[in-house]
Chains A and B, each alone.
Chain A
């Protein structure tokens, strides 16, 4: 049954994308950007190092760098709007932002609302940080146990359903990590690259990331859905393709101190220029 539903959903996506081809492109947002000489990009303000604030309140991070490069390539000014997981798609729908680069996992249901264009610029998996003393060896060890997490991540529900964990979701990761230290939960579930960074910091020496990452999910940059197969969507696709081919994404990963992901390396190989060297 699920398979049929999935196939139908895939088909409807295919149909909608082909029909979008057929209808004429208005390029409204694209033209607006050119006319105003300004692109409004929605980025995160609470997700270091992708999008966060410096102490003077300015938005900085890896995704802000990407947004800047989009603006520079277009030759327009960049305006940043801080978005949250709960409102980022709505902001794009109603035109409050022109483009969204906001750590959004590329999921089927989201593609029906916003125009996610490939190739995906990043990917992250789910893992846990747990005290070494607990000797957790498999995801099934979480069954029936309290696990701390952050509100709004899509895998909270998944690990509850798949492994029977009781997720206690906090507003921020600081609160979640404090709860882990206070032994209110046996593990903290989050993106694997962030956990790896914390383990390297030396502040969590009694903790480990014992499991194999799961649900590796590519992230998507989104344009308004009407422009997915028009100039704007194609342009953003081109930007992402180029970032992969030149290895810019890997450089940015290093610049922002993110644990290097296998995804970016394989993408770089895949998109490598066959004539180079």
Chain B
């Protein structure tokens, strides 16, 4: 993984640089936001223009023109944004909340002193980090029943709730790695100094190590937020009424003209770009700012 901060380190004594703890690599996976942030902001606009011009050439024979398709998109846009895109954003927040809480717990489990806890946490982390998200979603969908009877009450798990749970699992695993990597990137001398001053392990962790980790965890954490937001349309396959499914329903309501496909799906693309692009730019800026400061 390319270290963005390598230039800033010239001329510093090695002891001032961040140390990779215990010989294992610090977790850094910012490919996605780096890639997204490197695009100029007008990329999707250019794409959309190119795509809208395309059907004119391809299907001159049909009565239904690209102009009709854009009219249809104009009519549907408010509904698609309000009931569709905002729902995707809501889902992404819920997944981030569940994923953060679960990921921190699992990450601390990975650096636990108890070997079984460490092993189990490691296994869960690796399992969900390395499985395709869609497969995880399908398994959760089939595994969790729609209705559970507990203490005489019926608990319902609608599809969107299952989808939040399913998307959370890979996020938990990746945030677990962020936490483990961040904790292990704090120099061992910090632990040793804390021990010398008679701090307990819990005190060392919560009062000395984690506060130092916090800043450096923010960029990768935002990176995963951007990735998971872009992954929310996956849940359309499970029948959740989010933006892709509602777009499909809109296309159905407009008589399934194939000319509608490109404007409607490009519109979804632009919405996601407009939302994720600033996050990516901010993430990259924060990463530069927070790099190597102990």
Contact = CB atoms under 8 A, between A and B. Distances in A.
Q: Answer yes or no: do A and B interact.
A: yes
B253 A181 contact: no
A177 interface: yes
A48 B249 CA distance: 9
B249 A46 contact: yes
A52 B246 CA distance: 10
B256 A53 contact: no
A55 B248 CA distance: 12
A90 interface: yes
Interface string B240-271: 01000010111111011110110000000000
Contacts of B256: 48, 172-174, 177, 198
Interface string B86-122: 0000000000000000000000000000000000000
B249 A174 contact: no
B190 interface: no
B63 interface: yes
Interface in B20-72: 59, 61-64
Interface in A37-96: 45-48, 52-57, 82, 84, 86-87, 90, 94, 96
A174 B261 contact: yes
A56 B255 CA distance: 16
Contacts of A55: 75-76, 79, 250, 253
A174 B257 contact: yes
A203 B257 contact: yes
Interface in B147-193: 147, 156, 159
A53 B251 contact: no
Looking at chain B's contact residues, is the secondary structure mostly helix, strand, loop, or mixed? helix
Interface string B123-159: 0000000000000000000000011000000001001
Interface in A189-243: 198, 201-206
Nearest to B262: A178
B258 A178 contact: yes
B239 interface: yes
Nearest to B245: A46
A206 B251 CA distance: 22
B9 interface: no
B34 to A, nearest CB: 32
A206 B248 contact: no
Given A55-B250, A181-B258, A84 B64 contact: no
Nearest to B77: A55
B83 interface: yes
Contact of B239 (A47, A84, A201): A84
Question: Of residues A45, A172, A174, which shows the largest number of chain B Cβ atoms within 10 Å of its Cβ?
Answer: A174
A269 interface: no
Given A84-B239, A175-B261, A203 B250 contact: no
Interface in A226-273: none
A211 B252 CA distance: 25
A209 to B, nearest CB: 16
A172 B248 contact: yes
Contact of A171 (B63, B248, B253, B258): B248
A56 B249 CA distance: 12
A201 B63 contact: yes
Contacts of B258: 174-175, 177-178, 181
Contacts of B61: 205-206
B253 A52 contact: yes
A47 B252 CA distance: 7
B239 A87 contact: yes
A168 to B, nearest CB: 15
Contacts of A202: 63
Given A45-B249, A48-B252, A53-B253, A86 B239 contact: yes
13 contacts: A55-B250, A55-B253, A57-B79, A82-B241, A94-B146, A94-B156, A171-B248, A173-B252, A174-B248, A174-B257, A175-B258, A177-B257, A177-B258
Interface of A: 45-48, 52-57, 82, 84, 86-87, 90, 94, 96, 171-175, 177-178, 181, 198, 201-206
Given A48-B255, A174-B251, A174-B260, 18 more contacts: A46-B252, A47-B252, A52-B249, A52-B253, A53-B253, A57-B82, A57-B83, A87-B159, A90-B146, A171-B248, A174-B258, A177-B256, A177-B257, A178-B261, A181-B59, A201-B255, A202-B63, A204-B62
